[in-house]
Amino acid sequence: MDTKELREITSRDVDFPKWYTDVCKKAELIDYSSVKGCMIIRPLGYALWENIQKELDKKFKETGHENVYMPMFIPESLLQKEKDHVEGFAPEVAWVTHGGQEELPERLCVRPTSETLFCEHYANIIKSYRDLPKKYNQWCSVVRWEKTTRPFLRSREFLWQEGHTVHATKEEAMEETKRMLNIYAEFCEDILAIPVVKGEKTPKEKFAGAENTYTIEALMYDGVALQSATSHYFGDNFARAFNMKFMDKDNQEKYMYQTSWGMTTRIIGAMIMTHSDDHGLVLPPNIAPTKVVIVPIGKNNDEVLAKAYDIAKELKLRGVSVTIDNSEKSPGFRFAENEMKGIPVRIEIGPKDLENNLCVLCRRDTLEKVRVELPDVEDEVIKLLADIQTSMYVRAKTRRDSMTKSVLTLDEMKASIEEQNGFIKAHWCGSLECELKVKEVAGVTSRCIPFDEDNKDGKCCVCGKPAEHLVYWGKQY
């Protein structure tokens, strides 16, 4: 592969979906196999997921959650116990019908989500208020039999974490539901530099079996929204279906209150579609597996290479992951290759630089270069990484805000979305009818009712009746 071929990715302004797939493939995040609709997550893609896991898992444990592992199979009869839940999931599951040579007495689905197994387990192990709360999480893969698939965004199998908790009271369960949504939001903003809108799903869009679904919604470069994580409050819906009772302090038998919440490998897709460009991947320093690449220039220059090792050693001591790319390829090729892989900072150093006690820092987000004194290089790199992280967030937020419009009527909404994709803020009366009408006329769906409804008073953009909510609408991934 020469530099030209490497650089030859579709421009994101010409064909965004094709650009996205090109980046996923050429940055070596994923590959395909003979397993239709599933993807191979390659080392760089998986290293991103490992870093995501590390950050989230730390937050989960700090807030008192424990990890467990449930079976990947769910008997059909168990899946059917909660009515809305089975209606939501049964049409898109994979069914195991044979074990070895024998047909199974009851078919098993490969888990699309594990509420039913957690419910059965909780009913089994919890007797008294002393056993509550139980706050479990699991990291695993799940399967949903999608017709059309795209890397990270929609795949028949994907990786995720699913938290499932049970509590003695409504209030505590609701508090947990919102706490976890906030953890997701902070993670997206602080680590992935993705600005999100926190809010609640309309009844039509909520999770199968939930009483309330909370969501964080991000806006991609092309103005299409991406649901980045959800947190569900179940009330006692599942508890009633699965007979999950406990003896409370007052000696009364009561149903438990329950939550679930999840984030998936989809978020890697969100990161790509928020930050990356026509040179390939752009990774926020806080999640990048390798933060710095050093490219020594000039052949057979032992002094340059020795300096590169010195810098790498010092950066590692300061906790910065760094690699040296000293391959035989031309500097131009190596620049392009490391840009494609999204490494936040590149240090270029050649014989002449060394003579002048200088080197060049190139930041991946803007591709700007600055010359710095060699004795300052580690300090400058650390400052630059912090600056890139902040700049990426600010840039994404500015773009998101510029693509967020407020409208009063359905006609305005239609005109706005025809002009440019983005978030549309418009009032809504709360009826399913008007929600469906919006979809029919403007081609967008409700993304969420934001927590900070800055202007709740208004009239429904469809029927003109007094509004119940301000809603974010948009196209969605």
Q: What does the binding site for a copy of itself look like in residue numbers (CB under 8 A)?
A: 31, 33-35, 38-43, 46-47, 49-50, 66-75, 77-78, 91-101, 107-108, 110, 117, 120-121, 124-125, 136, 140-141, 143, 145, 156-157, 159
Q: Contact 386/378 with Cβ under 8 angstroms? A: no
CA distances from 351 to 297, 393, 469 (A): 7, 36, 64
Phi, psi torsion values for 205, nearest 5 degrees:
-95, 0
H or E element that contains 269: helix 266-275
Residue with smaller CB distance to a copy of itself, 107 or 395: 107
Q: Give 324 or 463: the residue with its C-beta nearer to a copy of itself.
A: 324
How many Å apart are CA 473 and CA 448, to the nearest integer? 7
Q: Where are the alpha helices (DSSP H) in 286-356?
A: 302-317, 331-340, 351-355
Q: Cβ 80 to a copy of itself, closest distance in Å?
A: 12
For a copy of itself, which is the closer residue by CB, 47 or 305?
47
Contact yes or no for 12/251 (Cβ under 8 A): no
Q: Are strands 345-349 and 423-428 parallel, antiparallel or unpaired?
A: unpaired
C-beta of 72: minimal distance to a copy of itself in Å?
6
CB of 398 to a copy of itself, least distance (A): 34
> To the nearest whole angstrom, how small is the minimum distance from the Cβ of residue 98 to a copy of itself?
4
Residue pointed to by tokens 């699913």: 162
Shortest Cβ distance from residue 67 to a copy of itself (Å)? 5
CA distances to 43, 109, 449, 463 from 410, rounded to whole Å, are 46, 42, 17, 9
Q: Which is nearer to a copy of itself, 77 or 398 (CB)?
A: 77
User: Please, what sign has the CA dihedral across residues 289, 291, 297, 303?
Assistant: negative
Cα–chain center distance at 64: 22
Cα Dmax for the chain: 82
Report phi then psi at 128, rounded to 5: -130, 165
What does the alpha-carbon distance between residue 265 and residue 139 come to, in Å, rounded to a whole number?
A: 11
Of the candidates 222, 248, 27, the one whose C-alpha atom is nearest the C-alpha of residue 130 is: 248
Helix (H) or strand (E) holding 235: strand 225-235
CB of 97 to a copy of itself, least distance (A): 5
The closest alpha carbon to 456, from 425, 411, 413, belongs to 425
Alpha-carbon dihedral of residues 272, 276, 280, 283, nearest 10 degrees?
A: -70
The rounded distance, in Å, linking the Cα atoms of 471 and 406 is: 10
Shortest distance (Å) from residue 166 CB to a copy of itself: 14
Dihedral pair phi/psi, residue 430, rounded to 5°? 105, -5
- Smallest gap from residue 465 Cβ to a copy of itself (A): 39
Task: Report the run of H or E that residue 292 belongs to, with start and end.
Answer: strand 292-296
Least distance from C-beta 117 to a copy of itself, angstroms? 6
Residue 121 or 167 with smaller CB distance to a copy of itself: 121
Shortest Cβ distance from residue 89 to a copy of itself (Å)? 10
Looking at the Cβ atoms of 69 and 390, the one nearer to a copy of itself is 69
